[in-house]
Amino acid sequence: MMSRLTLLVTTLLGASQLNATHIIGGEFYYDHLGGSQYQVTLKLYRDCTGIAFDASAVIGVFDGQGGLLYTQSLSFPGGSFIPITLDSPCLTLPPDVCVETTSYTGIFDLPPTADGYQLTYQRCCRTAIISNLITPGDLGLTVTMRIPGSGIVSNSSARFNELPPVALCLNAPLIFDHSAFDPDGDSLTYELCTPYNGGTSLDPQPNPPSAPPYSFLPWAAGYSETYPIDSDPAIAIDPVTGQLTLTPTLQGSFTVGVCVKEYRDGVLLTETRRDFLFKVVPCDASVVAGIQPQPPSLLCSGLTMPFVNTSFGAQTWAWDFGDPDVVDDVSSEQNPTWTYQNQGTYVITQIANPGTTCADTVQTPYQVYLTPEPFVVPPEPFCGNDPVTLVAEGMFGAGASLQWILGAGSVPQSSSDSIVTAQFAGPGVHEFSLLVAENGCTNSYTDFVTNYALPVAAFNANPISPQYVGTVVDLTDASNGNGGTFVTWDWTLDSDPLGASAPFITWNTSWPGTYTITLQVTTADGCTDATSQDYQVLGGDIVIPNVFSPNSDGTNETFHITNVEFYHNQLTIYSRWGNKVYEVTNYKNQWDGAGLPDGTYFYVLQMDDGREYSGHLTILR
């Protein structure tokens, strides 16, 4: 029982080892030696981390219809490691990249037949780390080649001139001559193709190999025979020259197939299908240029830019600051500084070790802009609540984005115009802000608009109008300061000053008429208001006597007209014969008839308000 278990474990271990060859590709080509003799070469590639090549390779020989004729074993001739070279001497591969190749060779006797022959080799399994295949660890390969029938007198197949590159540097462009040589000078065309699957984990070395046709390898999602590897631009092969180009963009291992077809006089003779693996790895550069990306602290900081050199492996540098306004915007300093003439976005170029084989170049954009500096000249403190106009000024361009924030209760509360007319909520100190954004740079300005409440002027007159001449009128301030403190009271009577600045004054009415009394009040904030009232002063009735006695007894000495002195008037006295004996303007009861005899006289009194009185009077001494 124990020996059986040991045998089972040994058998399973051997199967596992056979399954773990990490085969990664292969190809066939042959040479016609003359007659029915062909020298056949099977070229295989394996990952060095797998087990060694097999001691022999079993080749199945099939007729043109796919029937197995016989198998032939080719002995392992020994392997060799593929030298790994890169297009650039300035790149270094990781140390764990290793691929071994071998070429099994044998002489096959293949007498001419109408349908020719097909030679096939199969082996499982591939390395499990292949990125572009589905379950790659369970997949193998089929290497197959067709030998034309007797219609073709003699033919040797095309064979590729160069071994494929084992390792590709991530993001490094590759141009590879994948051309082939045909001994007969036949016409060749090239294309990307899908490799064949072959062998299984249970039968990793089919003996004999399975008969054609053969199944293709299953591509993982996103991959195909024309896009077998992540590349930008996409992998491509020139159909005439065989030049292969790609720039790999993803680290990993990728199976690729390249087919060369051989034509003679327009007839397809055979196809050589190379199945191989590209390993895309990050390569170390001996010199790498580097510029520190623009730090946030240098955004919107002005026209002078310091640059930080982050290159390595270099001893000299050549800088170009990308300033189109200056010819010599260059430097050889390690960490230079440059002052630009104008704002803008500039592309900075650095060459590390310029002029040497391993020079490296890098470019990075820098934004060179000034922080906008807005300001606003607010109005001087003012009285009332009239709208005010605010103008955005300062250092920024016409294309800058503006935003006014005028506060709750204002009309409007915000605006994006350069000039805004706003009415604030009421008397007080009102904060406003102006935000300016330009070229990604922002700044703000804050200030205040101050306005004071307007007072409301009012006063009382006691006694109220109308009153007769001689009435003393008390004028008392009744104004509302709306929070302000009154400092002056200016009283006027028909625009003429009336009394001192005081909240209370008296007015002695001395002449009849309608007068306009005005009070203007002023607060400590300098805000004023005025109000006016009309006040009527009555002069009294005109009473004219018809006799007076100027006899020096102190009684009734003059022609006394009651209340006449309060009116503008014109008095004329005539004798009984119509002669004018006295005339005066604005009579004030001063005529005493001096120089005139006693007797009867006539008078005419004309008032400036249009009234006229006339009659006779007697002077009696």
| Each residue's pLDDT tens digit, 513-560 | 899 999 999 999 999 999 999 999 988 889 999 999 999 999 999 999
Over range 250-262, report the average pLDDT.
96
Task: Tell me whether residue 256 is exposed, middle or buried, using C-beta atoms within 10 angstroms of its C-beta: 0 to 12, 13 to 18, 19 or more.
Answer: buried
What average pLDDT does the structure give for the chain?
Answer: 91
Helices (H) and strands (E) in the chain, counts: 1, 47
pLDDT reading at 94 higher than 90: no
Over range 46-69, report the average pLDDT.
91
The per-residue pLDDT for 521 is 97
Tokens of 7: 């045998």
pLDDT digits (tens, 9 = 90+) for 96-141: 678 899 999 999 999 999 999 999 999 999 988 899 999 999 999 9
* Local confidence band at 87 (pLDDT 50, 70, 90 cut-offs): low
SS3 readout for 205-252: CCCCCCCCCCCECCECCCCCCCCCCCECCCCEECCCCCEEEECECCCE
The per-residue pLDDT for 331 is 96
pLDDT digits (tens, 9 = 90+) for 390-405: 999 999 999 999 999 9
Tokens of 497: 């000053």
The per-residue pLDDT for 49 is 77
Over range 19-40, report the average pLDDT.
88
CB neighbours of 224 closer than 8 A, spacing ≥ 6?
194
Structural domains for the chain: 2-281 (no CATH), 286-368 (2.60.40.10), 373-448 (2.60.40), 459-538 (2.60.40.10), 547-619 (2.60.40)
pLDDT reading at 14 higher than 90: no
Contacts within 8 Å (CB) and 24+ apart, 401-407: 401/436, 401/437, 401/438, 402/434, 402/435, 402/436, 403/434, 403/435, 403/436, 403/437, 404/432, 404/433, 404/434, 404/435, 405/432, 405/433, 405/434, 405/435, 406/430, 406/432, 407/431, 407/432
Over range 42-62, report the average pLDDT.
90
Evaluate whether 233 touches 247 at the Cβ level (below 8 Å).
yes
pLDDT reading at 376 higher than 90: yes
On the CB side of 122, how many CA atoms lie within 13 Å of its CA?
25
> Rounded CA gap, 32 and 156, in Å?
5
Strand order in the sheet with 599-607: 547-548, 612-619, 599-607, 569-574, 580-585
Look at residues 134, 105, 100 and name the one whose alpha carbon lies nearest to residue 24.
Answer: 100
Query: Any idea what the Cα angle at residue 385 is, between residues 382 and 391, rounded to 5°?
Result: 70
The per-residue pLDDT for 17 is 40
* Local confidence band at 380 (pLDDT 50, 70, 90 cut-offs): very high
The per-residue pLDDT for 16 is 37
pLDDT reading at 4 higher than 50: no
pLDDT reading at 5 higher than 80: no
Buried b or exposed e, range 149-168, using 16+ CB within 10 angstroms: eeebeebbbbbbeeebbbbb
Over range 322-327, report the average pLDDT.
91
Among 5-19, 359-373, 527-541, whose mean pLDDT is lowest? Answer: 5-19
The per-residue pLDDT for 327 is 87
Among 160-169, 365-374, 418-427, whose mean pLDDT is lowest? Answer: 160-169
- Tokens 């399954």, located at residue: 19
- Which stretches does DSSP call E strand in 413-556? 414-415, 419-422, 428-438, 441-452, 459-462, 467-468, 472-477, 486-493, 496-497, 504-508, 513-523, 528-538, 547-548
Tokens of 538: 């009555």
The per-residue pLDDT for 3 is 35
The per-residue pLDDT for 92 is 64
pTM: 0.51
pLDDT reading at 91 higher than 70: no
Q: Which comes out higher in pLDDT, residue 153 or 599?
A: 599
Over range 60-88, report the average pLDDT.
89
- Tokens 């240098």, located at residue: 298
> Rounded CA gap, 284 and 279, in Å?
15
pLDDT digits (tens, 9 = 90+) for 495-514: 999 989 999 999 999 888 89
> Rounded CA gap, 516 and 494, in Å?
5
